[in-house]
Amino acid sequence: MTEPEADPIGVWSEIKLQILKKYFPAYSKIMGSQAWCRGYFYIDGFAGKGQHVRRDTGEMVDGSPMLAIQTKPPFEHCYFIDIDQFHLRLLRNRIGEREDVTYIHGDANTEVLRILESITFESRKRALCLLDPYGLHLEWSVIETAGRQKTVDLFLNFPVADMNRNALRKELDSVSADARRRMTTVCGGEWWIDLCFARPQQTLFGDSFREKVAGYRALKDAFRKRLEAQAGFKVVPEPVLMKNEHGGPLYYLFFATQKESSAAKIVTDIFNAQRKKYSHLIE
């Protein structure tokens, strides 16, 4: 079966793209006005095909890479990363060969770290990074490095649906070894287990089990605190929860920044406006 050239998306994904479309030029304008800044960049760790198609109407919708290259004032350079060669080839065909764009076929967990090596605080360079994985495919080390660099604004997809399906089950014993490993990698440790599951209890037959006592909301709160306390981001506004048409939670869209007075306020205002406009789909 041939893979389509544009993946179908729901309204919740369009809301995310609207948020990015509003923030990209605000970020670019702020950074472009800073005399000390020697360059600001866009990094898309899971760039995809560049375009999507609306499920209900069949209309084409620009993805995050297309929004990034359309941003005015422009980013000095855009890095588009994807582990899928077909996705990257379609994206390259759509955008073309440009001096201000680099296409990278590889794992975002490796490639983002490599790019950030040159975007240090001392370099006076800055970056806006989008980490929008398809599931539990992100390593905490990438998030932590982005925070400790003190140079990165970060949008992050916290995949609640995948977590609920694979890791936040009724009992810890029902969580597969692979799901547990991936969850621990994203969270940066097994702290999520003690948060979400009760202490080991004994049955009448001597078996031990750990029942679920907290869900994705508690996990979101703890992860938000960790972005500040462990990764070193100065401000992490309350994230937006995206839901499907039935009210089921899909993912939290996090934003983390070092700029309390500007970026955090802008994103908070954008988040709140979208919450008001799409109250049935996000919170």
- Find the mean pLDDT for residues 172-199: 93
Q: Is the pLDDT of residue 206 over 70?
A: no
Domains of the chain: 7-160+215-277 (3.40.50.150)
pLDDT confidence of 259, banded at 50, 70, 90? Answer: confident
Q: Is the pLDDT of residue 204 over 60?
A: no
Reading the block at residue 196, the tokens are 């979400």
DSSP 256: E
Print burial letters for 225-242: b (CB count within 10 Å at least 16), e (below 16): ebbeebbbbebbbbbbbb
At 4-57, the pLDDT tens digits run 788 888 899 999 999 999 999 999 999 999 999 999 999 999 999 999 998 888
**What pLDDT was estimated at residue 202?**
65
At 68-110, the pLDDT tens digits run 999 999 999 999 999 999 999 999 999 999 999 999 999 999 9
**What pLDDT was estimated at residue 97?**
96
Task: Answer yes or no: are the C-beta atoms of 198 and 210 closer than 8 Å.
Answer: yes
- Please tell me which residue, 203 or 195, carries the higher pLDDT value: 195
- Find the mean pLDDT for residues 178-199: 94
**What pLDDT was estimated at residue 88?**
96
**What pLDDT was estimated at residue 262?**
86
Residue 58: strand, helix, or coil: coil
**What pLDDT was estimated at residue 136?**
86
In angstroms and rounded to an integer, the radius of gyration of the C-alpha atoms of the chain is 19
At 207-228, the pLDDT tens digits run 677 888 889 999 999 999 999 9
At 118-168, the pLDDT tens digits run 999 999 999 999 999 988 889 999 999 999 999 999 999 999 999 999 999
At 269-281, the pLDDT tens digits run 999 999 999 998 8
Reading the block at residue 141, the tokens are 């080390």
Judge residue 174's burial from the number of C-beta atoms within 10 Å of its C-beta, 0-12 exposed, 13-18 middle, 19 or more buried.
exposed
Calpha distance 163→187 (Å, rounded): 11
